Amino acid sequence: MSRKDARVVVSPEQLSSFKSLLQEQNLIYELLSDNLEAVLAKEFAQRSLVPLPQAGKGRLSTERYYTHEEIMNYIADLAARFPKRVFVRTVGWSYEQRALKTITITNGDGRANKKVVFVDGGFHAREWISPAAVLYMIDQLVEHFEENAYLLKDYDWVIQPMVNPDGYEHTQTGTTARMFRKTRQPYRQLGLTCYGADPNRNFDFHWNEEGASSSPCMDTFAGPHAFSEPETIVIRDLMHSLADRGVMYLTIHSYGNYLLYPWGWTSDLPDTWQDLDDVARAGGDAIEAATGTVYEVGSSTNVLYIAAGASDDYGFYAGFNVSITMELSGGGSLGFNPPESSIESFVSETWIGVRAMAEKLIEKY
């Protein structure tokens, strides 16, 4: 697929009229699968269901995706093993009452009020590679402390590996649920119940303007009002509590290989866009030099699409000097489902980019 191609899923009933439409518009198309359900079911069946012995204790490998509970156990275990450097805090509860936790990683020197890098993952339920990549960053900063100590000298890293655990757990329940994106709070409209708001359209900055939907059954449903979801309130409050010290907010999504900075609600660029561009480009360049993977760098609206009410715009507005959405590589039949065999290469590549962006921050701020 080339860059401007798009994957579209069409129901069997609509396939022939959709093909005619493409032909009328002279659009070139390729049928990637004539039975997506079956492909997804096969991919889903291939994932490891059996928790590894001791999963959540000690290091987490990159050989499989983990449940929310395993991830929470893992960070608790890290805090117990490295009590001088690692701190875990419950920052709130999801709609279905799962614990939302942050892990703060320091160098243990006890110096207060350092600058902050705030990273999150798992905003969108189906983007399983996101929390996996964030776990790898945690492992690097904690278990590989010696080689990464320079990243913690003047910075604390505050990391929330799972923003939307209800959605994430839902996507683990079966093939039909695998491509679910949103939170799990139910919304009723015209006698129909649909689940969830898009957490990345729920922030109160140009909320529900372009690129967001008012319909609860849409994937980009902005919610009935801004901050209708407990999960986004938690991120908002963390952002405000960290903003004085916050140099970079980084949110990990998939897929498409993009490093995006504000704005996402308008095609205008912020005054400091060149600083944002420097940081993002440092990440993209480091990845390309190391693996050859090319990330496209630019403002969300200008290189991807306009979408208002997202966390990156809000974090920048709240005071972070730099705010970046990193869209990792795609894999599997739909891009959101890279096989377990590719986790290691995707997450280690992500770390190369994140480390380079942090180095650029240290140089500039």
Which residues lie near ligand 0X9 (CB under 6 A)? 124, 127, 200, 253, 260, 264, 300, 304, 307, 310, 312-313, 325, 327
**Minimal CB distance residue for ligand 0X9:** 264
Beta bridge partners of 120: 160, 251
Q: How far is the CB of 160 from Zn ion (least distance, A)?
A: 15
Query: How many whole angstroms from its chain centre is CA 285?
Result: 20
Residue 102 to residue 118: CA distance in whole angstroms:
10
Taking each helix axis from N to C end, the angle separating 311-318 and 230-242, rounded to the nearest 10 degrees, works out to 30
Residue nearer to ligand 0X9 on the CB measure, 199 or 246: 199
Q: How far is the CB of 357 from Zn ion (least distance, A)?
A: 18
Residue 343 backbone dihedrals phi, psi, to 5 degrees? -55, -50
- Whether 66 and 74 have beta carbons less than 8 Å apart is answered as yes
Q: Residue 238, CB half-sphere, CA atoms under 13 Å: how many?
A: 27
Question: Among 48-56, 216-224, 238-246, 249-257, which window interacts with Zn ion (CB under 5 A)?
Answer: 249-257
- DSSP letter (8 states) at residue 279: H
Residue with the two structure tokens 């608790």:
76
Q: How far is the CB of 335 from Zn ion (least distance, A)?
A: 11
Residue 124 touching Zn ion (CB under 5 A): yes
Residue 182 touching Zn ion (CB under 5 A): no
- Whether 161 and 144 have beta carbons less than 8 Å apart is answered as no
Residue 195 to residue 330: CA distance in whole angstroms:
25
- Whether 87 and 159 have beta carbons less than 8 Å apart is answered as no
> Which among 329, 323, 198 has a CA at the least distance from the CA of 258?
329
Residue nearer to ligand 0X9 on the CB measure, 102 or 164: 164
The partner in contact with residue 313, picked from ligand 0X9, Zn ion, none with C-beta cut-offs of 5 to 8 angstroms by kind, is ligand 0X9
- From the CA atom positions of the chain, what is the Rg in Å? 20
Work out whether strand 258-261 and strand 296-299 pair parallel, antiparallel, or are unpaired: parallel
Instruction: List binders of Zn ion among 184-203 (CB under 5 A).
Output: none
Residue nearer to Zn ion on the CB measure, 124 or 360: 124
Question: Among 122-130, 211-219, 255-263, 338-346, which window interacts with Zn ion (CB under 5 A)?
Answer: 122-130
Q: How far is the CB of 283 from Zn ion (least distance, A)?
A: 17
Q: How far is the CB of 336 from Zn ion (least distance, A)?
A: 9
Residue nearer to ligand 0X9 on the CB measure, 6 or 190: 6
Residue nearer to ligand 0X9 on the CB measure, 179 or 362: 179
Q: Which of 229, 327, 359, 363 is catalytic?
A: 327
Q: How far is the CB of 124 from Zn ion (least distance, A)?
A: 3
The partner in contact with residue 264, picked from ligand 0X9, Zn ion, none with C-beta cut-offs of 5 to 8 angstroms by kind, is ligand 0X9
C-alpha distance from residue 186 to each of 98, 177, 214, 220, 230 (Å): 16, 15, 14, 15, 13
Residue nearer to ligand 0X9 on the CB measure, 140 or 257: 257
Which residues, at least 6 apart from 51, have a Cβ–Cβ distance to it below 8 Å?
67, 70
Residue 31 to residue 25: CA distance in whole angstroms:
17
- Conformation bin of residue 196: beta by default, left when phi > 0, alpha when psi is -120 to 50: left
Note if 327 is an active site residue: yes
- E strand or H helix at 326: strand 322-328
Q: How far is the CB of 213 from Zn ion (least distance, A)?
A: 15
Q: Give the one residue of 68, 126, 253, 360 binding Zn ion; rule: CB under 5 A.
A: 253
The partner in contact with residue 185, picked from Zn ion, ligand 0X9, none with C-beta cut-offs of 5 to 8 angstroms by kind, is none
The partner in contact with residue 334, picked from Zn ion, ligand 0X9, none with C-beta cut-offs of 5 to 8 angstroms by kind, is none
Question: Among 2-10, 13-21, 90-98, 247-255, which window interacts with Zn ion (CB under 5 A)?
Answer: 247-255
Residue with the two structure tokens 């891009």:
335
Site for Zn ion, rule CB under 5 A? 124, 253
Q: Which residues are catalytic?
A: 327
